[in-house]
Protein backbone atom coordinates (compact mmCIF):
# COMPACT_ATOMS: atom_id res chain seq x y z
CA UNK A 1 0.00 0.00 0.00
CA UNK A 2 2.46 2.54 -1.13
CA UNK A 3 1.27 5.73 -2.67
CA UNK A 4 3.90 6.77 -5.14
CA UNK A 5 4.77 10.36 -5.70
CA UNK A 6 7.76 11.92 -7.35
CA UNK A 7 8.70 14.54 -4.77
CA UNK A 8 8.33 12.56 -1.60
CA UNK A 9 9.29 15.39 0.70
CA UNK A 10 7.55 13.50 3.48
CA UNK A 11 8.02 9.85 4.14
CA UNK A 12 5.37 8.63 6.52
CA UNK A 13 4.84 5.22 8.00
CA UNK A 14 1.71 4.16 9.77
CA UNK A 15 1.89 1.15 12.02
CA UNK A 16 -1.33 -0.72 12.64
CA UNK A 17 -2.30 -4.11 14.00
CA UNK A 18 -5.02 -5.53 11.88
CA UNK A 19 -7.86 -3.62 10.33
CA UNK A 20 -9.38 -2.31 13.49
CA UNK A 21 -11.76 0.58 13.54
CA UNK A 22 -9.07 2.69 15.12
CA UNK A 23 -6.49 1.98 12.46
CA UNK A 24 -8.98 2.61 9.71
CA UNK A 25 -9.84 5.95 11.32
CA UNK A 26 -6.18 6.79 11.69
CA UNK A 27 -5.40 6.02 8.06
CA UNK A 28 -8.40 7.99 6.86
CA UNK A 29 -7.43 10.96 9.00
CA UNK A 30 -3.86 10.83 7.80
CA UNK A 31 -4.80 10.70 4.16
CA UNK A 32 -7.12 13.60 4.60
CA UNK A 33 -4.52 15.83 6.25
CA UNK A 34 -1.88 14.91 3.72
CA UNK A 35 -4.10 15.66 0.81
CA UNK A 36 -4.91 19.01 2.35
CA UNK A 37 -1.45 20.12 3.33
CA UNK A 38 1.12 18.02 1.54
CA UNK A 39 -0.46 17.27 -1.74
CA UNK A 40 2.02 15.53 -3.98
CA UNK A 41 4.92 15.63 -1.53
CA UNK A 42 4.29 12.63 0.61
CA UNK A 43 4.44 8.89 0.68
CA UNK A 44 2.50 6.78 3.15
CA UNK A 45 3.58 3.29 4.04
CA UNK A 46 1.18 1.24 6.12
CA UNK A 47 2.70 -1.60 8.13
CA UNK A 48 0.51 -4.22 9.70
CA UNK A 49 2.38 -5.59 12.68
CA UNK A 50 0.22 -8.65 12.75
CA UNK A 51 1.79 -9.52 9.42
CA UNK A 52 5.28 -8.21 10.08
CA UNK A 53 5.81 -8.19 13.84
CA UNK A 54 9.59 -8.06 13.43
CA UNK A 55 9.34 -4.48 12.21
CA UNK A 56 8.02 -3.16 15.51
CA UNK A 57 11.39 -3.12 17.18
CA UNK A 58 13.18 -1.09 14.56
CA UNK A 59 10.98 1.96 14.85
CA UNK A 60 10.45 1.53 18.58
CA UNK A 61 6.75 0.96 18.24
CA UNK A 62 4.83 0.21 21.39
CA UNK A 63 1.49 1.88 20.77
CA UNK A 64 -0.99 1.24 18.03
CA UNK A 65 -1.65 3.10 15.85
CA UNK A 66 1.63 4.98 15.52
CA UNK A 67 2.54 7.36 12.76
CA UNK A 68 6.23 7.76 12.15
CA UNK A 69 7.71 10.57 10.12
CA UNK A 70 10.79 8.91 8.70
CA UNK A 71 11.75 11.88 6.57
CA UNK A 72 12.54 14.73 6.92
CA UNK A 73 14.56 14.08 10.02
CA UNK A 74 14.38 14.19 12.98
CA UNK A 75 12.07 11.27 13.37
CA UNK A 76 8.76 12.14 14.89
CA UNK A 77 6.08 9.88 16.21
CA UNK A 78 2.43 10.44 16.72
CA UNK A 79 0.42 7.85 18.55
CA UNK A 80 -3.32 7.59 18.59
CA UNK A 81 -6.05 7.67 15.98
CA UNK A 82 -4.85 11.07 14.71
CA UNK A 83 -8.22 12.63 15.46
CA UNK A 84 -6.75 15.99 16.46
CA UNK A 85 -5.72 17.63 13.20
CA UNK A 86 -3.76 20.44 14.74
CA UNK A 87 -1.71 18.12 16.91
CA UNK A 88 -0.92 15.91 13.94
CA UNK A 89 0.18 18.82 11.81
CA UNK A 90 2.30 20.25 14.60
CA UNK A 91 3.69 16.84 15.31
CA UNK A 92 4.67 16.38 11.69
CA UNK A 93 6.17 19.84 11.68
CA UNK A 94 3.87 20.84 8.85
CA UNK A 95 2.73 23.88 10.70
CA UNK A 96 4.86 25.50 13.41
CA UNK A 97 3.88 24.83 16.98
SS3 22: helix
Between CA 33 and CA 17 the distance in angstroms is: 22
Residue 41 CB, nearest distance to other proteins (Å)?
A: 20
Nearest to 62 by CA among 53, 75, 70: 53
CA-to-CA distance for 32 and 26, rounded, in angstroms? 10
Interface size with other proteins, residues (CB under 8 A): 32
Sign of the alpha-carbon torsion through 59, 3, 79, 55: negative
Instruction: Assess 65 for contact with other proteins (CB under 8 A).
Output: yes
Residue 91 binds other proteins, judged by CB under 8 A: yes
Does residue 72 have a cis peptide bond before it, meaning omega lies within 30 degrees of 0? yes
Is there binding between residue 90 and other proteins (CB under 8 A)?
yes
Q: Which stretch binds other proteins (CB under 8 A): 2-10, 32-40, 46-54?
A: 46-54
From the list 49, 70, 71, 94, which residue makes contact with other proteins (rule: CB under 8 A)? 49
Instruction: Give the residues lining the site for other proteins (CB under 8 A).
Output: 15, 17, 22, 26, 49-50, 53-54, 56-57, 60-66, 74-84, 87-88, 90-91
Amino acid sequence: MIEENELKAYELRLYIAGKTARSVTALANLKKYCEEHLKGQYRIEVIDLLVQPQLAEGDQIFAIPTLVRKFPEPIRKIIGDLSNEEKVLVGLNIIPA
